[in-house]
Amino acid sequence: NAGVTQTPKFQVLKTGQSMTLQCAQDMNHNSMYWYRQDPGMGLRLIYYSASEGTTDKGEVPNGYNVSRLNKREFSLRLESAAPSQTSVYFCAIEWGTFSSYNSPLHFGNGTRLTVT
């Protein structure tokens, strides 16, 4: 999806290993989000960043940390991976400012993570 780049596309980790998922946008939008998608559970918000320098917890933040490195980049870190974190992770950006509320989200193509 144009404008949101996620790396890597696939990753396999062993329990206890750490990794960072990267997300970069090229459209200079303020708000960025990390979601996880699990079968039958839809998308659940992990963390979000309304603007550069701020981050907030979403619905399922446990086991994750985030960094809003600059306006373009928002990374998600798993310090000690667990099998329950096996999922597809999506980064999204929001057109306009966080206060718009009616702006749609634009998603990257996801990172498929397996923890064994």
Supply the minimum distance, in Å, between the C-beta of residue 27 and other proteins: 14
Look up residue 92 and give its two tokens: 């999204």
Look up residue 37 and give its two tokens: 């998608």
Separation of alpha carbons 112 and 95, rounded Å: 25
Q: Return the number of the residue (13 or 91) whose C-beta is nearest other proteins.
A: 91
Q: Return the number of the residue (3 or 63) whose C-beta is nearest other proteins.
A: 3
Separation of alpha carbons 73 and 88, rounded Å: 19
Look up residue 72 and give its two tokens: 């373009």
Beta bridge partner(s), residue 94: 31, 105
Strands 111-115 and 56-57: unpaired
Q: Return the number of the residue (38 or 79) whose C-beta is nearest other proteins.
A: 38
Binding mask 29-48 for other proteins (x = CB under 8 A): ----x-x----xxxxxx--x
Check binding of 58 to other proteins (CB under 8 A). Answer: yes
Binding site for other proteins (CB under 8 A): 1, 4, 33, 35, 40-45, 48, 58, 90, 92, 101-102, 104-110
